[in-house]
Copies of this chain bind each other. A is one copy, B any other.
Amino acid sequence: MTENQKPRPDGRAADELREIVIEPGWSKQAEGSALISFGGTKVLCTASVMPKVPRWLMGSGKGWVTAEYSMLPRSTNERMDRESVKGRIGGRTHEISRLIGRSLRAVVDLKALGEISITVDCDVLQADGGTRTASITGAYVALVQAIEWAKEQKRIPASAKPLIDSVAAVSVGIVGGQPVLDLPYVEDSAADTDMNVVVTGRGLFVEVQGTAEEAPFDKRELDQLLELAVGGCATLSQKQSEALSA
């Protein structure tokens, strides 16, 4: 932090993550699960293995990994109507579900999975910014457990290696002119630019989604944000390893 920068609302350094807690195996019902917290954001991720694939993959020998994201109605500061009550899923929900699914598939060898499907549900119990990045990071942990379960159950050959890398995600943004890592709601709603970055354990990009909320951004700002994100994801990747080996 340079001298003339304003401190962040929670006192963190610009490149510092919130407190990250990962509780693997939280659910007794699911084949894989993790309750993950990025500060006040809490997401329950559960992975379900099903012995069939979508129609377009039948007979292909390939498996499928997908995700569904949802927020509890009172995960937010003001209660939202349930999408089941409204009878339709909102655009934002669809968009995030698709993002999580793509991010997971980027590190899975679908051929090695064989013809099974894994659905990872990411239900936000409490929301304080970064729910999609916490979901991706927790979903990976649930996915690893589900794949291990499938190997134990001999649904995947013991020799198969469906996971080709790990994956984590973090938000970055420009707030008050300063690039910062892992924005809580109070920073997120004040950001000029907001970016969600999905990075593999090896440091490669899976998704880069940058949006100018208030002011378009230039290449230098983009580079600063990407650097912060890569650093944050490296730490998250380390947390995932620790949780899974615990």
Chain A residues within CB distance 8 Å of chain B: 27-30, 33, 40, 44, 46, 48, 50, 68, 70, 72-77, 79, 82-95, 97-98, 102, 106, 119, 121, 123, 125-127, 165, 195, 200, 202-212, 216-219, 222, 226
**Quick check: A121 and B205 within 8 Å, CB to CB?**
no
| Distance between Cα atoms of A46 and B127 in the complex (Å) | 14
CB distance from A188 to the nearest CB of B (A): 15
Residues of B within 8 A of A127 (CB): 29
Q: Which of B29, B50, B92 contacts A126 (CB 8 A)?
A: B29
Q: In the complex, what distance in Å separates the CA atom of A121 from the CA atom of B203?
A: 39
Across the interface, which residues of B come within 8 angstroms of A203, CB to CB? 218
A200 to chain B, nearest CB (A): 5
- The one of B27, B29, B98, B202 that contacts A91, using a Cβ cutoff of 8 Å: B98
Give the residue name and chain of the B residue nearest to A94 (CB): B91
Which residue from B94, B126, B211 sits with its C-beta under 8 Å from A102?
B211
A79:B91 contact, CB within 8 angstroms: no
How far is B85's CA from A88's CA once the two chains are assembled, in angstroms?
7
Top 3 A-B residue pairs of the complex, sorted by shortest distance between their CB atoms? A91-B94, A204-B216, A83-B84
11 chain-A/chain-B pairs, Cβ below 8 angstroms: A29-B74, A29-B76, A29-B126, A73-B121, A84-B84, A84-B86, A87-B88, A92-B94, A204-B212, A207-B209, A208-B210
Which residues in B have their C-beta under 8 angstroms from that of A87? 87-88
A97 to B119, CA, bound (A): 26
